[in-house]
Chain A
């Protein structure tokens, strides 16, 4: 099985930088995803990492270290609209190639 850990809640200030961590344990790692979910809405895809290193997409970046079972999502120049839950999901080849979701981190951006 898989064990995925994320902080439950985080608070940050508009314009600042925030890093949301995700640690996982899996035997057949085959990719890590980050999704954004605004309250009451569907999750939407943010990023995908399968190799070690940093992937940058505008204000959002995602980092992966497979040896450490660790990823983070970095949000720069925070905006109020970034207030949402951020879900880490890990794809596992020993789990029928499915992704398992963490419980998510609720980020609140304050003025």
Chain B
């Protein structure tokens, strides 16, 4: 079974709709992240959480909100979707323990299209 899962994997929606993307992990990591990736571009951080009571904005948080329901779950919401939010969204987890120095482990991604 995958350590980091995302649902849904694909979603097509219309402008103005509220959308929730969910992320679950079985790695036991404290840190979780949401990124978006646009074609030909790198990963841009939307929100991150270092533990259940910690929520922080990333570089492009406008138009998004998150909820850290438990150590294993981190959800991303688009309150009113707009076409320029069409992108590939990745959830990731990391942990300071071990030799990896905060290596990030990514979910498979959610491809979101806003019409």
B-side contacts of A41, CB under 8 Å? 108-109
- Evaluate contact between B43 and A101: CB separation under 8 angstroms: yes
Whether B106 sits at the interface, judged by CB under 8 Å, is yes
Whether B41 sits at the interface, judged by CB under 8 Å, is yes
How many B residues touch the partner, as a band? 20 to 34
Q: Decide yes or no: A48 and B101 within 8 Å by CB, A98-B45, A101-B43 being known contacts.
A: yes
- State A41–B88 Cα separation when bound (angstroms): 10
The winner among A43, A89, A104 for most chain B CB atoms within 10 A is: A43
Whether A44 sits at the interface, judged by CB under 8 Å, is yes
How many A residues touch the partner, as a band? 20 to 34
Q: Considering only CB atoms, which chain A residue lies closest to B44 in the complex?
A: A101
A-side contacts of B103, CB under 8 Å? 33, 45, 48
List the interface of chain B (C-beta within 8 A of A). Answer: 41-43, 45, 48, 50, 56, 88, 90, 96, 99-109
